[in-house]
């Protein structure tokens, strides 16, 4: 029931220039990445209770196209921060985060948003589906943002739902789906723009074992040919990875490459 990946970029605005394709470049590369954030009341005021928290410290790692890399470590070790940096959802305090040679942090906010929409697929633990939209409409949302014509995006969404085994749930609302089905809708949505990179944050964290296995099969399938980063506490989830990177207190302690 799988379908071949289709490039939809001819219908979207151009992405930032990639590195020379003739050069061997990791799909994802972090070099010396550190990130700090402040804790306080906000509003531009500082108090004696405000402090700086180091979320990442001098992290370097790479992910090749077609490779699934797991991120493990206790809560607060930096797993989600790495995913957010790769997806361009935050700009690290120091270091470089590159997708196929493009330094994400060096881009303007607008260009970074465009790169994320077109080249990064994101799978969240809690699905983040719009409750008033059907499964197909949720999957098609990134294609609306990319300017893909309605007929093409409806067909693309239908075929992606078929790919994850939900061909009979196309018109269902999220509230009419099980947890595993909603996560598979989220995985299909992550594939909508045929991204180079997939980041998944605790993709089976709220699912039972049997449902989690189904979701992992779908996640493994979509990872073929893409660079995939999966953050999880679950050993079975991490078992699908080609390599596991262990983090402690914002530092890589094993699995770095």
Q: What is the pLDDT of residues 38-87, one digit of tens each?
A: 765 455 544 555 688 899 999 999 999 999 999 999 999 999 999 999 99
- Look at residue 256 in the predicted model and tell me its pLDDT: 66
Low-confidence residues of the chain: pLDDT under 70: 1-25, 39-50, 256-257
- Look at residue 247 in the predicted model and tell me its pLDDT: 96
| Residue 126 to residue 202: CA distance in whole angstroms | 9
Q: Is the pTM of this model over 0.95?
A: no
| Residue 75 to residue 36: CA distance in whole angstroms | 16
Burial class (CB in 10 A: 0-12, 13-18, 19+), 78: buried
| Residue 69 to residue 228: CA distance in whole angstroms | 6
**Strands 28-39 and 120-123, bridge-based pairing:** unpaired
Question: Are the CB atoms for 174 and 196 separated by under 8 Å?
Answer: no
- Residue ranges and CATH numbers for the domains of the chain are 25-42+51-254 (3.40.50.300)
Count how many Cα atoms sit within 13 Å of the Cα of residue 37 in the half-sphere of its side chain. 13
């Amino acid at each position: 029931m799988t379908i071949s990946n289709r490039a939809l970029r001819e219908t979207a605005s151009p992405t930032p220039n990639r590195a020379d394709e003739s050069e061997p470049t990791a799909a994802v590369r972090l070099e010396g990445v550190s990130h700090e954030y402040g804790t306080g009341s906000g509003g531009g005021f500082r108090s004696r209770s405000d402090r700086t928290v180091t979320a990442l410290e001098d992290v370097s790692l790479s992910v090749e196209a077609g490779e699934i890399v797991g991120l493990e470590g206790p809560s607060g070790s930096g797993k989600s921060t790495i995913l957010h940096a790769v997806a361009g959802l935050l700009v690290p305090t120091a270091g470089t985060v590159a997708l196929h040679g493009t330094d994400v942090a060096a881009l303007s906010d607008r260009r970074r948003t465009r790169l994320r929409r077109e080249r990064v697929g994101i799978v969240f633990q809690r699905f983040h589906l719009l409750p008033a939209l059907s499964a197909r409409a949720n999957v098609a949302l990134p294609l609306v943002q990319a300017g893909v014509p309605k007929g093409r995006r409806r067909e693309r969404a239908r075929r992606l739902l078929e790919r994850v085994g939900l061909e009979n749930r196309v018109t269902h609302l999220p509230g009419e789906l099980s947890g595993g089905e909603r996560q598979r809708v989220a995985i299909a949505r992550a594939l909508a723009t045929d991204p180079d990179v997939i980041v998944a944050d605790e993709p089976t964290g709220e699912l039972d074992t049997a449902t989690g296995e189904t979701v992992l099969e779908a996640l493994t399938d979509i990872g073929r040919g893409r660079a995939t980063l999966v953050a999880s506490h679950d050993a079975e989830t991490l078992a699908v990875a080609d390599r596991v990177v262990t983090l402690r207190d914002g530092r890589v302690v094993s699995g770095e490459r």
